[in-house]
Amino acid sequence: MLVAFYFSDYFPTIGWLDKYTGMLSRLEKVFNKLDLFYQELIDEHLDPNRPTSMDGDIIDLLIQLQKDRSTPFDLTLDHIKATLMLVNAEEYIEGQFTGNLGEILDQIFKKQLQNVFLAGSETSAGAVIWAMTALIKNPTALEKAQNEIQEVLGEKKMIEEDDTQKLPYLKAIIKETMRLYPVAPLLVPKYTMESCILDGYEIQPKTTVYVNAWAIGRDPEYWENPHEFLPERFLNSTIDATGKHFQFIPFGAGRRSCPGYYLGVATVELALANLLNSFNWGLPSGVKKEDIDTDVLPGLAMLKKNALRLVAKKRVPL
């Protein structure tokens, strides 16, 4: 529903058509399901017979703040539910947040928590799949990456996070993957707060702005052979994805850039390094590398439409 077409998003004056297309009723159903889920969590905490393990977790604290009226505004159940959407379930269950509402929110954002399913698992897994797709279509790069791992780490069975810092070609592969196949191709929609001029165009306040990171990463003005998978372009290069180089912004830039950059990159590096270290990868019988497509599913995240099917054989050190 986040990426579905609504007339009100593009043609506000005829936004009433969303009612007749059924989009508003569908959105209402999704909202009600989420609202019911968070309400059940709150009701569990209001139950006098609740488990003692719930004492002091973030839901307990927010409910207490509501009862005490100790916030500068009236804290409602909707505020509590919205706050829970920002918090990883494990974090609030373990009661890692304490203090008044302002302090709690400050702790949440400082810890840069994301929705664990949307911003963590799906995007990282998608990036690894795109990297494997690119490597199986470019066997020279695959071989070079595996050779680097073996030369640097020897016969080490399980690669750890610190080990990836010694693998510049692996890091280049991941950067090149994010350039060609950014998991969030339009980043997260922005909303202008005031009027501004961009390249001669006046952007009005309250305008929804989409940044096409996919197109930027393939712009021939900035990239030589932009449609080719060439990890070497990032070797001995200062370009990174932290938002300082606007030709490469898979995580966005500025204050609204993705706070999970370092965690996301580390996760992908670790997963890909161990896949390449543990197995030799090939195609099923009768399948050629030209048969591997790069079609994508519709959605907020750019995920591979057709499953990547490979043959894995235990890797024997040279």
List, as one string, the DSSP characters of 199-213: TTEEEPTT-EE---H
pLDDT at position 52 is 78
Same domain, 52 and 192: no
- Of 59, 76, 110, which residue is a domain's last? 110
Same domain, 82 and 192: no
Q: Which residues of the chain have pLDDT under 50?
A: 88-95, 97, 100-102, 104-105, 108-118
Same domain, 126 and 92: no
Same domain, 189 and 205: yes
- Of 110, 126, 152, which residue is a domain's last? 110
Helices 101-110, 58-68: inter-axial angle, 10-degree rounding: 150
11-38 burial: b if 16+ Cβ within 10 Å, else e: eeeeeeebeeeebbeeeeeeeeeeeeeb
Q: Which pTM was predicted? A: 0.69
Same domain, 141 and 230: yes
pLDDT at position 79 is 85
pLDDT tens for each residue of 153-199: 988 889 999 999 999 999 999 999 999 999 999 998 888 889 999 88
- Of 66, 81, 110, which residue is a domain's last? 110
How far, in Å, CA of 190 to CA of 254, rounded? 12
pLDDT at position 203 is 92
Same domain, 235 and 304: yes
pLDDT at position 120 is 59
**CB atoms inside a 10 Å sphere around CB 50:** 13
- Total structural domains within the chain: 2
- Burial (CB count within 10 angstroms: exposed 0-12, middle 13-18, buried 19+), residue 135: buried
How far, in Å, CA of 313 to CA of 283, rounded? 11
